[in-house]
Amino acid sequence: MSRSDSHKPRLTFLPRLHQCFVLSCTLLFSIVSYCSQTVTETDRPLLPRRPSCSATTALISLGSLLLLVCGLWLLVTIFWLQAPSNSVPHRAPPPRGSPGTGGGDGSRALPEPQACGVVPEAWRFDCYPERGVVVTRELCEARNCCFIPASSSPPAPGRNGVPWCFYPPGFPSYSLVSVNATDLGQTGTLVKMVKTYYPKDILTLQLELLYETDNRLRVRITDPSESRFEVPIAVPKATEKASNPAYSVELSNEPFGIIVKRTSTGAVLLNTTVAPLFYCDQFLQLSSSLSSQYIYGLGEHRSSFLHDIHWNTLTMWARDVAPTELTNLYGVHPFYLAMDEGGTGTAHGFFLLNSNAMDVVLQPGPAITWRTIGGILDFYVFLGPDPASVIGQYLEVVGYPAMPVYWALGYHLCRWGYGSSNATWDVVKNMRNYGIPQDVQWNDIDYMDRSLDFTFDPTAFSTLPDMVKDLHSHGQRYVMMLDPGISSVQPEGGYWPYDEGLRRGVFINHTDGSTLIGKVWPGLTAFPDFSDDVTHEWWYDNLKRFHDKVPFDGLWIDMNEPSSFVDGSTVGCPDTELENPPYTPGILGGLLRAKTLCASAVQKTSSHYNMHSLYGLLEAKASARSRMLGKRAFVISRSTFPSQGQYSGHWLGDNRSHWKDMYTSIAGMLTFNLLGVPLVGADICGFSEQTEEELCVRWTQLGAFYPFTRNHNSIDQKPQDPPAFSPRARSAMKQSLLLRSSLFPLLYTLFHRAHTHGHTVARPLLFEFPKDVRTYGIDRQFLWGKSLMVTPVLDPGVDYVVGYFPQGLWYDYYTGDSIRSKGEELRLKAPLDHINLHLREGAVIPTQRPNTTLFVSSGQPLHLVSSLSEDGSAGGELFWDDGESIDTLETDQYAHVVFTVVKNTMTSEVLHDHVEASYITVETASFYGVKVEPTRVTVNSHDAAFTYRANQVRLGVRRQRLSVF
């Protein structure tokens, strides 16, 4: 069987050990039966014979055979128990041998049993991956594959197990028949003589190896006779071959395969010879060994940060569904980061540039299989060598994230179900009355008139324009929701977005040219085709018309997988190969059209079959390019695809008010930072179901360190904004949000680094400590940048938290108390009003006096916190501009200051000056790790007042040069 599902028979096999036992018992039964037979006179032979079996003889024989069988069973059991576990990664098997011969119809001899038996379970690649099929020996062998029931225990519910039907050594694949050198690398021709069991094999392929940079290899496998769909995002075009690549490439001729090694260590990063290559019209499959079990990325899925490689299938096809394990979610990101084996600290990455529905299978070899139903095989290998470099190299391909507008980094508040603009306004006023920071107020869909885009309810939300005007007068901003579905049933001439959209031809159509109609919140709806530039102009015109009524500041684009309440359309979908491909990945609902549009639907660029998972990206692109504000755009999108960070941020979807959801939000946040979307966070306190006060306090503390911080909950639930809770809870929430505001200069600088160098903002510990294997699975802690470690409470009813401290010197952020760690877990006090923060040695952190909005906070003087290393050194930086103008870096409208502490002296060096720098003043500074109380502190040779406590110096200063003696 291909996998153990509940609908498949359970008792169809016996493990080999038990088979031996049954065989022995059968033989014993035969002997006893023979001995018990009565010999008649007529049966006697003419020659004398041995005496017939007596009862005593039978018993002796029975006992002897039982001892023999038990002894055999014991020996086999000991051998089996000492054999390597299938859950432990195995070494990759050697490259597969030459394929067997066969006719053009795919017929050939079945694999030899001994050839099948030598394939370790961890290296069995599924030959019958279709779901909903009871895979028998007959079905498996019809594909000329090996059928061996797995001996390991059944998998957990919803998970795959060891495939019972798998490819044998020598299964037909492609052969490399020619190779030629090019200016950028090599080209080759691949040929396959035997067709596979999927229709429309492409028997001749073109291979293209592009040595694009020293740390980036690109491989393209295409159909030379006919063009196929390629993902329409801009990627760099190399103009010359890498001069000193950090990788070597070996090509296997027969069967064809690519082996990529790291030249410095010889580590194998990619080896596609482990399983046959498939390239059919609607089924492309590529397998490879993995360098280790440490795999990250592959979004969007709800899981731990470190993926489980034990028969774990991750399906990718954008889908509207609340975050659930083992389910394809809102976004598609076929990129992984892998740590190399052995704790060397080196890492590499792999990116498959493909937008079609796909399964990504991880197995304990360790190995990976990419199984997609369209497009081409176009992939990149990034050599790092460290994890942060891998992410930077990946973002060089898909694009660095945009620099956010400053207020995007403040506290956002929203709910579905305020009911009116006045009720929304009251919440804002309560926040102000309690002095709780809030930068942005949002409205969910209930602000609309009958859920129609680009409208607001003229009764319940009649004061919405006034509320927005009031927000602006207080330095606050307003964001509204938009769904892509445009109502198609309003009276003609009564709804401009639909009427004008029809006139311009912006909607997605059926194959017969008629407008495809689905169903979303406003009822029957048409869906804009954002792959068409005409649609972008129509979208802008709608935004401009609405902005003239309600001057919103940002957009929340939701339901953009795209989501529909009916499968396909209101009239169904045609029965075509696009709707019913020969292989359908494990998407929720089992059909490509499940709760979305027909796969055969027509868009300008291509069919929806190819474009579906790009929908959110293209809508974000249309929204971010809006010209009406003349400032940086703020867009938060639910559905995402590689390069999304250039246009929008992301929230992690309709989570629940559970402790587990709070914990998994960290993995989601870290994963999206790997994927180039650093402006990310989860709905604080949970979206659906009723939150609890303790949960909401702890989640607000954690959420204060999401790069994107928003509290949002669902209709029919009690309010969960901070003023809705007890004074103690409200105070704890306020304290954590003020703490976030005080760290704005650090956070803004980290986003600058993400925008210019592809760095992460929220960062896993393994990025800074890649040689410490204990950090590889940590997703209950994280860093801001390289120096500020966050250890939140993620469990109910506790006043402590256990955190791991990598080797080195750490300082309590609040007190300066030091911890010298050898690489160990420590128990930390964590009362309800406290979240643990620690500074890594060697950092200078710019902070500010907080206020209720970042508009006010950003004008406050700086307080510098230095955490000195053993030798007394530290360093940090500050990026500063006006916070909202477009391309301030490109137009030199910014200031960049570097802070350095060496030999008891702090200096600040302005690397780039601008008028913004004149607004920056340093008011105070703290130095953690000063071992001896100084006798004198000077600022530019003038004595300055200071205090000393334990190992900390705090002083007041109004210059940019400090001397500490």
User: Per DSSP, what are the bridge partners of residue 818?
Assistant: 811
Nearest CA among 415, 321, 413, 414 for reference residue 714: 415
> What is the C-alpha to C-alpha distance for residues 423 and 16, in angstroms, rounded to an integer?
70
Catalytic residue, from 439, 558, 779, 881: name it. 558
> What is the C-alpha to C-alpha distance for residues 567 and 558, in angstroms, rounded to an integer?
18
Would residue 779 show up in a list of annotated catalytic residues for this protein?
no
Would residue 683 show up in a list of annotated catalytic residues for this protein?
no
> What is the C-alpha to C-alpha distance for residues 188 and 155, in angstroms, rounded to an integer?
41
In three-state secondary structure terms, 735 is helix
Q: HSE of 892 in the Cβ direction (CA atoms, 13 Å)? A: 4
CB atoms within 10 A of CB 297: 25
Which CA distances in Å does 318 have to 315, 443, 458, 624, 645? Answer: 9, 24, 34, 21, 17
> What is the C-alpha to C-alpha distance for residues 526 and 511, in angstroms, rounded to an integer?
15
Q: Give the tokens for residue 685.
A: 């306190």
Q: Which residues make Cβ contacts (< 8 Å) with residue 227, sequence separation at least 6?
A: none
Q: Under a CB-based contact definition with an 8 Å cutoff, are residues 311 and 360 in contact?
A: no
Nearest CA among 483, 614, 613, 477 for reference residue 551: 477
Nearest CA among 814, 836, 841, 813 for reference residue 825: 836
Q: Give the tokens for residue 332.
A: 């598609």
In three-state secondary structure terms, 51 is coil
> What is the C-alpha to C-alpha distance for residues 883 and 920, in angstroms, rounded to an integer?
14
Dihedral (CA of 37, 40, 46, 48) sign: positive
> What is the C-alpha to C-alpha distance for residues 158 and 775, in angstroms, rounded to an integer?
28
Q: Which residues make Cβ contacts (< 8 Å) with residue 552, sequence separation at least 6?
A: 468, 478, 479, 480, 546
Catalytic residue, from 320, 439, 457, 561: name it. 561
Nearest CA among 40, 687, 641 for reference residue 322: 687
Secondary structure letter of residue 410 according to DSSP: S
Q: Which residues make Cβ contacts (< 8 Å) with residue 153, sequence separation at least 6?
A: none
Q: Which residues make Cβ contacts (< 8 Å) with residue 250, sequence separation at least 6?
A: 258, 259, 260, 261
E strands, 16-167, where? 146-147, 165-166
**What's the maximum distance between 2 C-alpha atoms anywhere in the chain?**
129
Tracing tokens 């290296």 back to the chain, one arrives at: 123
Nearest CA among 418, 392, 487 for reference residue 716: 418
User: Per DSSP, what are the bridge partners of residue 382?
Assistant: 216, 349
Report which secondary-structure segment, H or E, holds 716: none
Q: Under a CB-based contact definition with an 8 Å cutoff, are residues 259 and 632 in contact?
A: no
Please list the active-site residues. 558, 561
